[in-house]
Chain A
Amino acid sequence: MSMLDSLRYRVRALFHPGAHARDAERELRFHLDLEAAQREHDGAAPEDAEFAARRRLGNKTAVAEGMRRVAGLAWLDATRQDLAFAFRGIRRAPAFSVVAVTTLALGIGAATAIYAVVNTVLIRPLPIVDADRVLDLELVRPDSSHEPTIFFVSVPQLLRWRTELRSFAAIGAVSPMREAPLGKRSFAERPLWMDAKHVVRTSAVTPNYFSVLGTAPALGHGFSAGDAGASDDRTAILSYAYWQGAYGADPHALGRTIEFDGDTYTIIGVMPKGFSFPEDTQVWTSAAPDIESFKTNEYTFEFDVVGRLRNGISPARALSELRTRFASDTAGVRSLTDLRVAAPRVRDALVEEVATHLVIMTACVVVLLLIATANVTNMLLVRGTARRHEIAVRLALGAGRRRIVRQLITEALMLAALGACAGLGAAALIARFVAAETALNLPRRSFIALDASVVLVGALASMVIGIVCGLVPALSVSREALETTLRSETARHSVGRRHRRLRNALMVGQVAMAMVLLAGAGLLVQTFHHLMELRPGLTEEGVLTANIYPGLPATDTVARVLAARRIADRLRALPNLSDASVSTTSPLGGEISFRDIRVPGLVLADSAKAYTLFAGIDRHYFTALGIRVVRGRAFTEQDLARRDVAMVNETLAQRYFGSLDPIGRHIIAAGYPVPLEVIGVVQDIRGQTANPSAEPETYVPVAAEGAQNLSLIARVARGDPLALVPVVESAVKQAAPGSRLTYVGPLTAQMGYLAGTEHTYMTLLVAFALAALVITAVGLYGVISYAVAQRTREIGIRIALGASPNTVGRRVARQGLALTLAGVGVGAAAALVATRILRSMLFGVAPGDPTVLAAVAVLLAAVALLASWIPARRAAAVDPLIAIRTE
């Protein structure tokens, strides 16, 4: 019962503070009246009685306050006062408040956005049951200079692993996602280039893929079972988001049909919300038809393979079994160069390539947040000192120091709260930008959002920042005020000195941190610049690329090549197209093919294997792409009919032939019955792999390499290559009826994609660094302005005594420059160390590159000079008469 009474009392006190106050007032009044009546009754005069009663009661307000303190309301009153005080303070200095809030908003916004990304990508659990038991089976080619290249797995390899590996309860596979054109009619009758509205992102999965991941369609059922499923399976499963978007979450969507790629699929299921492997897939189809048609193809790498561990088997044991099996694998894939196997957990494999990037981004926003915090702390210090008199008066009037500190912190907290509100808005924008950037390869990026947990973390962080920003100035200012009230004017300078040292230290730290961020951004800008510069080796402008599906059996190489060649010839004859050719791989990316080679007489160190990229090409290939033949000759018509000739690129010639002239010499390629005679050397092109350096590459006649995949390239005479799509479309129809093109697009789009990751990270980091630069400049401006305001009198005296305004201005500017140079020095040293974490993202520039550091230092110094120049000019303009009269 006591609990209940007590609770009732507390609730009433807390929620009806007004009623509590009225009750107390009434009760004390009643007491006073009774006491007075008693005294009157005892014989005192009425006014004496009243007065005595009052005197006995003492300070009625103090008594009421005592009651309120017990009721727990004093805290509420004080907080309300503090808030009102803080609000007045913020309104009274609008410029100051806007700058402080903007600074905090930038810091909090960036940090919250990156936290939202990290939370979604790295922290939130995957929608996979028992995700620790699901491994990704990978073929990896290590690369000492760059991140390792991970290959997809061929169908025969997948099938061998399925039958051989005992460590896995089940092994499934998924093809990389691709954009298939949506529509009812067959492909050839529709425009080739389509925007996102008209495509659907699909990937093919083995029927057991979903069960390996421990999930199943939320609606309907999975693909027909069996080891490989039905090879004529034309059923489709929708993602939850696609089902909602395109079908309005209609449960009757099951059983309806969806057309894409010229085929009709029956919808049999909808996956649960949040399931999106591979990333962004909208529709899954059965991989059974692909598996059937690529059953014997060791060199087409189609699949990402996942396996669920058998009970009681550790990941390490599974990996060792995989290694043993792979080492004794005698079939095709081992002929590939230097390939290893790896089996990371799916969870780790998903974030493998992005984890480092995210750590770097996190570090950047933390630094930005620190800069913002230091800046606002400094601003509050400056402002607090300016309010010293006001605070001294309040202290003299009896406000406790603790109370003053509390009020100043409340003000900082209010600034932080406003900053958090604006910052969350900024965070939403940044998060949306990141979520829309396909180039970042972030897993689950479509789920990046400012959810409740992210907002909560952002709010908490803002609160901590508010307290930190408020506490340092509040303590220091209140102490200073306490001391100055009691001391003479001269004594103030010693206090001011300690204060100034703190401000200067904060300023130097801020400049140093900005320097680190700018250096990081500078290095990424350099990297991007290098990547854009070295990519070519070919003239990519005005080239249209597409994959050709000749509509003929994969085994009929001759007919397929002839069909593709007819298309290229027809295109070349068109007036608007200057050149066209056919190859087995797209010049930049797409499917790539590696082979081991032997070069007679060549001895390589430490049993390394010689390898090369391999491409079959047809006539006009090099001219169409603008690749220069540097030695020997390009394939002639006679060469194109042979199977024993090859052209190599400069990297191959240099790496495996050294100083020898490769022309007329031979290379022996795995899978080729006869040695290949090198007849020409061409320029390097780059971009086929993730490695930005050029790879050794061998070109053979297209018919010799086979025609599993055929790519078309066409160069337009002038203008936008996409404008010619309808012309190309009708030419393809006429030249080879039954064939169709996919992945039509400008070659430049592929180039853009290749450096897209670097470009996006560069954009983000540059944005953060610029924010840091602006914040620092504003901070410096504030500190110097304040110093000028403080020394107005001294400056006035100097000018009165004959110092020229220019000298005075220079002195002030010099102070700003000194702080900046100290910061730049510290920052440069820090950047030398800190930029090392960028190493894996850099190309063509080393961490701590002196040119970048110097450029950044100059930029920072220039901005700092500008920031101190404005207050310096103000100092120079001081009117000595007015200045000496101030204070």
Chain B
Amino acid sequence: MAARVTKPESQSDILPGTLEMLILKTLTLGPMHGYSIAQHIARLSKDVLRVEQGSLYPALERVQKKGWATSRWRASPTGRQARYYTITAAGRKHLGETSTAYQRAALAIARVMRRA
């Protein structure tokens, strides 16, 4: 079963801000374009998290708007121009904060699920 990350405003399937967190985490590996970010998330989650473009690209706009990442056009390995995203210092800081909060929440949820 694949959790489809859709409807960025309502974040109906996963917790709000999670997609941004995943994007930022991915970008810590180095500058990447949108397609490879999506590929990377899908691969690491063993295809459980399949990010739709309709969510991915607005989310990329959002992280730029927040100042967590910047973008510039560069040649990709195939020679075509692609838009590469780079995480900023503020993005790393935000990532640190959200991942701590996320882990705490995930742990809490796991405990509840075990007991109930």
Q: Using a CB–CB distance below 8 Å, which chain A residues touch chain B?
A: 1-10, 13, 23-24, 26-28, 30-31, 33-35, 56-59, 62-63, 66-67, 69-72
Contact = CB atoms under 8 A, between A and B. Distances in A.
B98 interface: no
Contact of A27 (B8, B62, B83): B83
A69 to B, nearest CB: 7
A13 B60 CA distance: 14
B90 to A, nearest CB: 3
Closest 10 CB pairs of A and B: A2-B90, A6-B67, A2-B67, A70-B61, A5-B67, A66-B58, A34-B35, A9-B64, A70-B58, A31-B35
A24 B67 contact: no
A69 B58 contact: yes
Interface in B1-55: 8, 33-35, 38, 52-54
A31 B67 contact: no
Which of A1, A9, A24: most chain B CB closer than 10 A? A9
Contact of A5 (B35, B80, B90): B90
Contacts of A10: 65
A841 B62 CA distance: 65
Contact of A71 (B61, B89, B90): B61
Nearest to A9: B64
B96 to A, nearest CB: 13
B33 A30 contact: yes
Nearest to B89: A1
B53 A30 contact: no
Contact of A26 (B64, B67, B83): B83
B39 to A, nearest CB: 8
A2 B81 CA distance: 26
Given A62-B54, A63-B53, 4 more contacts: A5-B67, A31-B35, A56-B52, A67-B58
Contact of B53 (A3, A8, A28, A69): A28
A376 B87 CA distance: 54
B57 A63 contact: yes
B83 A1 contact: no
Contacts of A30: 33-35, 76, 80-83
Contacts, number: 87
A27 to B, nearest CB: 5
A30 B57 CA distance: 12
Interface string B68-99: 10100100100011110000111101000000
A5 B83 contact: no
Contacts of B76: 30
Contacts of A1: 67, 88-90
Given A1-B67, A2-B66, A58 B54 contact: yes
Nearest to B6: A58
A756 B62 CA distance: 68
B66 A66 contact: no
B88 A70 contact: no
B53 A31 contact: yes
A9 B33 contact: no
Given A5-B67, A6-B66, A35-B35, A26 B57 contact: no
Contacts of A56: 52-53
A4 B67 contact: yes
Nearest to A5: B67
Contacts of B67: 1-7, 9
Nearest to B38: A31
B30 to A, nearest CB: 18
A362 to B, nearest CB: 47
A70 B61 CA distance: 6
Nearest to A33: B80
Given A27-B34, A66-B8, A5 B57 contact: no
A5 B62 contact: no
B68 A2 contact: yes
A604 B80 CA distance: 110
A282 B13 CA distance: 80
B83 A28 contact: no
**Main SS class of interface, A:** helix
Given A1-B90, A58-B53, A67 B61 contact: yes
Contacts of B80: 30, 33
A34 B8 CA distance: 23
Contact of B65 (A27, A33, A57, A71): A71
Contacts of A59: 54
Nearest to B62: A70
Nearest to A59: B54
Contact of B34 (A6, A31, A58, A66): A31
Nearest to A6: B67
B57 A24 contact: yes
A378 B43 CA distance: 63
Nearest to A29: B80
A634 B33 CA distance: 113
B52 to A, nearest CB: 7
B72 to A, nearest CB: 10
B90 A58 contact: no
Nearest to A4: B67
Contacts of A72: 65
B53 A57 contact: yes
Contacts of B52: 56, 58
A71 B59 CA distance: 10
Contacts of A5: 64, 67, 70, 88, 90
B60 to A, nearest CB: 8
Nearest to A68: B61
Contacts of A57: 53-54
Given A5-B70, A30-B35, A67 B57 contact: yes
A66 B57 contact: yes
B62 to A, nearest CB: 5
Nearest to B54: A63
25 contacts: A1-B90, A2-B90, A2-B91, A2-B93, A6-B64, A6-B65, A23-B83, A26-B83, A27-B33, A27-B82, A30-B80, A30-B81, A30-B83, A31-B34, A31-B35, A33-B80, A58-B52, A62-B54, A63-B53, A63-B58, A66-B57, A67-B60, A67-B61, A70-B65, A71-B65
A2 B88 contact: yes
Contact of B81 (A4, A26, A69): A26
A177 B33 CA distance: 81
Nearest to B80: A30
Nearest to B60: A67
A71 B35 CA distance: 20
B98 to A, nearest CB: 14
Contacts of A4: 67
B5 to A, nearest CB: 13
A859 to B, nearest CB: 60
A33 B34 CA distance: 12
Nearest to A35: B35
A813 to B, nearest CB: 57
B11 to A, nearest CB: 14
B86 to A, nearest CB: 10
Contacts of A24: 57
A498 B33 CA distance: 58
Contacts of B38: 31
Contacts of B60: 67
Which of B38, B64, B66: most chain A CB closer than 10 A? B64
Which of A13, A34, A72: most chain B CB closer than 10 A? A34
Contacts of A13: 65
Which of B58, B60, B81: most chain A CB closer than 10 A? B58
Contacts of A66: 8, 54, 57-58
A2 B67 CA distance: 4
Nearest to B64: A9
A789 to B, nearest CB: 45
Contacts of A26: 81, 83
A527 to B, nearest CB: 66
B115 to A, nearest CB: 39
A156 to B, nearest CB: 80
Nearest to B83: A27
B114 to A, nearest CB: 37
A421 to B, nearest CB: 37
Nearest to A72: B65
